[in-house]
Each structure stands twice: as structure tokens, then as C-alpha cells.
């Protein structure tokens, strides 16, 4: 999964393709648990782009997305938020949510 910057974020949110954004921080323990799950899903699910965004490096983007805690996962399609969750969830539940984007 690619760690994106503000310019890449701006392009992704206007994309028609489904996007899963993992808002994370390097110091966050639960983020380190969630990251490998999302990495696996990025290999398993076709047609969805999975990216990460460091909230400490991009606080303005995190704030604009209402990120109050990490990890927060925001799922977009056509520039619209279709799903979001905070914290770690089981892989199967996340996969169901991601599959609903396609």
C-alpha cells in the first residue's frame, strides 16, 4: 500500500474508482495491526485502490475527513464516502465492506 501525499489525495477523492484510505500514524499500535490486513485485501480485491495517509504529516486532510482517532478507514467511490470505520476490524468484515464498493 502506498503512503500518499496531499496532491495524490486530491486526485484520488475525485476518482470514479473505489478507494480505501487508511488514516494512520507511525506511533499507533492498532494501526500496525490493521495495516497487514489491508495489505492482504489490496492483493485479494481487484478494482479497488488501497492507500495510506499519515495523519501527523497531513493533519488538514485528516481534519477535513473528520478523523478523530487512528486508525480510521474511509472508503470512497465517485468522490463520495460510502463507508468508514475506526479501529481494527476482522478481515472478513472489512472485505465485505470493500466488496460492496465494486
Q: Which residues are catalytic?
A: 28, 31
* CA pseudo-torsion sign 83, 55, 28, 38: positive
d(CA 88, CA 102): 22
Q: Which residues does 85 contact at the CB level (< 8 Å), separation at least 6?
A: 72, 73, 94, 97
Amino acid at each position: 500500500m502506498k503512503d500518499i501525499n496531499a496532491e495524490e489525495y486530491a486526485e484520488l477523492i475525485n476518482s470514479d474508482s473505489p478507494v480505501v484510505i487508511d488514516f494512520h500514524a507511525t506511533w499507533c499500535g492498532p494501526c500496525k495491526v490493521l495495516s497487514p490486513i489491508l495489505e492482504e485485501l489490496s492483493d485479494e480485491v481487484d478494482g479497488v485502490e488501497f492507500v495510506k495517509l499519515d495523519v501527523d504529516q497531513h493533519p488538514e486532510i485528516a481534519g477535513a475527513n473528520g478523523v478523530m482517532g487512528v486508525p480510521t478507514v474511509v472508503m470512497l467511490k465517485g468522490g463520495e464516502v460510502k463507508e468508514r470505520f475506526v479501529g481494527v476490524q476482522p478481515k472478513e468484515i472489512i472485505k465485505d465492506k470493500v466488496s460492496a464498493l465494486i
